């Protein structure tokens, strides 16, 4: 007889919905940052996302950033710059 074990653990934390958002549709004055993680082609990937978003909403202003090292978090200077220049950020993680 074969017995199966379900490896899924019980969830003990309450699910907390993600509430941060930015309204892009119909927005003519929104600046969106695109933060590349430093992996090869992460900038190219984000450039394609930028183009697709601007095709839908041409009024989007784009700011591009690159951490340069995927194993390190963005430094405080970069975070401050992004916060001062953008209302939203699209970040590339993984590879």
- In a domain? residue 6: no
- In a domain? residue 3: no
- The backbone region for 68, taken as left when phi is positive above 0, alpha when psi lies in -120 to 50, beta otherwise, is left
The helix (H) or strand (E) run that includes residue 45 is: helix 42-56
User: In angstroms, rounded to a whole number, what is the distance separating the alpha carbons of residues 68 and 38?
Assistant: 4
Tens-place pLDDT, residues 30-82: 999 999 998 888 999 999 999 999 998 988 999 999 998 988 899 999 999 99
- In a domain? residue 16: no
User: In angstroms, rounded to a whole number, what is the distance separating the alpha carbons of residues 90 and 60?
Assistant: 13
- In a domain? residue 83: yes
Residue 15 — very low, low, confident or very high, per pLDDT cuts 50/70/90? confident
Q: Which domain holds residue 65?
A: 31-91
Residue 68's nearest CA partner among 38, 40, 36, 92 is 38
Q: How many domains in the chain?
A: 1
- In a domain? residue 41: yes
């Amino acid at each position: 007889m074969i017995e199966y074990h379900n490896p899924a653990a019980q969830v003990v934390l309450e699910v907390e919905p993600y509430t941060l958002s930015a309204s892009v549709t119909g927005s003519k004055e929104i600046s969106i940052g695109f933060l590349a993680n430093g992996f090869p082609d992460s900038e190219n990937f984000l450039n394609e996302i930028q183009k697709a978003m601007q095709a839908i909403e041409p009024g989007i202003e784009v700011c591009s950033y690159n951490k340069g090292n995927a194993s390190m978090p963005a430094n405080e200077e970069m975070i401050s710059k992004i916060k001062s220049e953008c209302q939203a950020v699209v970040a590339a993680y993984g590879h």
